[in-house]
């Protein structure tokens, strides 16, 4: 049998960790189970991650990186927001549900919350929302002077809220309401 090393071994461990997390939750997650699933030993894991919390964080970062959604450029802010949310519905909902539902003990253990974990997962990466709104400013759809971080994140915060409340993909009707009834009117009012 070929012995895995480096990136191949690390990816196998992170895939195994994600599988363990989604099947068992954080409370029952063990590094021993990850090692067994990956066909290796726990010392191999401990050379990379000090504890289960840091391995779970790494697994979330890895899994998130495999689900990158292309940032749409439909020609309008409305179109970009709707297209982005629909794409997230298809490829990223389980990431949000897993972090919200299965990580309660992680948050208690780390004295952390979903927003802090999200910041760790996204560290060093620019958000899709920033790109979408930057393009809207360039097209003259939005006045850059009214944009603030909370306004840029608002449509996606509402999208995440909807997922957390329902634990399922956001309906097209709800996406349309987020964009047409809240985001677009709010930006238009602030631009006056």
| pLDDT tens, residue by residue, 62-77 | 998 898 889 999 999 9
CA distance 103 to 86: 25
Mean pLDDT for all residues in the chain: 91
Q: Do 112 and 143 belong together in one domain?
A: yes
Band the pLDDT of 31: cuts 50, 70, 90.
very high
Is 115 a residue whose pLDDT tops 60?
Answer: yes
Q: Do 130 and 186 belong together in one domain?
A: yes
In a domain, 21, yes or no: yes
Which CATH number goes with the domain that contains 89? 1.10.357.10
Q: Quick one: average pLDDT of 3-13?
A: 88
**Residue span of the structural domain in which 152 resides:** 69-191
Predicted TM-score (pTM) of the model is 0.83
Q: Do 169 and 151 belong together in one domain?
A: yes
Read off the pLDDT of residues 135-192 as tens digits, 9 standing for 90 and up: 999 999 999 999 999 999 999 999 999 999 999 999 999 999 999 999 999 988 766 6
Residue 132's pLDDT is 97
CA distance 182 to 7: 44
In a domain, 23, yes or no: yes
Q: Do 140 and 73 belong together in one domain?
A: yes
Cβ-in-10-Å burial (0-12, 13-18, 19+) of 36 comes to middle
What's the full length of the chain, in residues? Answer: 192
In a domain, 130, yes or no: yes
- Tokens 């099947």 belong to which residue? 23
Q: Do 41 and 113 belong together in one domain?
A: no
Question: What tokens were used for 181?
Answer: 């009834």
Residue 192's pLDDT is 60
Residue 2's pLDDT is 57
Q: Do 45 and 95 belong together in one domain?
A: no
Residue 141's pLDDT is 94
Q: Are 153 and 131 in contact (CB under 8 A)?
A: no
Q: Do 130 and 115 belong together in one domain?
A: yes
Percent of the chain with pLDDT over 70: 97
In a domain, 169, yes or no: yes
CA distance 24 to 58: 17
In a domain, 1, yes or no: no
| DSSP state letters, 84-133 | HHHHHHHHTHHHHHHHHHS-HHHHHHHT--HHHHHHHHHTT---HHHHHH
How many domains in the chain?
2
Q: Are 71 and 177 in contact (CB under 8 A)?
A: no
In a domain, 55, yes or no: yes
Which CATH number goes with the domain that contains 44? 1.10.10.60
Q: Do 116 and 169 belong together in one domain?
A: yes
Q: Are 65 and 120 in contact (CB under 8 A)?
A: no
Please report, for residues 32, 97, 138, 147, 182, the alpha-carbon distance to residue 154 in angstroms, rounded to integers and kept in the order given: 40, 19, 20, 11, 9
3-state secondary structure of 121: helix
């Amino acid at each position: 049998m070929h012995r895995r090393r480096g990136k191949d071994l690390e990816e196998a461990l992170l895939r195994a960790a994600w599988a363990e997390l989604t099947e068992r939750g954080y409370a029952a997650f063990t590094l021993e189970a990850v090692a067994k699933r990956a066909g290796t030993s726990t010392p191999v894991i401990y050379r990379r991650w000090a504890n289960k919390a840091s391995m779970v964080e790494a697994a979330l970062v890895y899994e998130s990186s495999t689900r990158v959604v292309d940032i749409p450029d439909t020609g309008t802010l409305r179109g970009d927001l709707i297209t982005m949310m629909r794409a997230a519905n298809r490829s990223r909902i389980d990431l949000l549900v897993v972090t919200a539902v299965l990580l309660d003990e992680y948050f208690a253990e780390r004295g952390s919350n979903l927003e802090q974990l999200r910041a760790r997962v996204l560290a060093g990466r620019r958000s899709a929302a920033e790109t979408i709104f930057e393009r809207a400013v360039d097209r003259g759809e939005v006045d850059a002077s009214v944009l603030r971080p909370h306004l840029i994140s608002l449509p996606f915060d509402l999208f995440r809220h909807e997922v957390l409340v329902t634990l399922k993909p956001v309906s097209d009707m709800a996406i349309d309401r987020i964009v047409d009834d809240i985001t677009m009117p709010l930006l238009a009012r602030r631009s006056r």
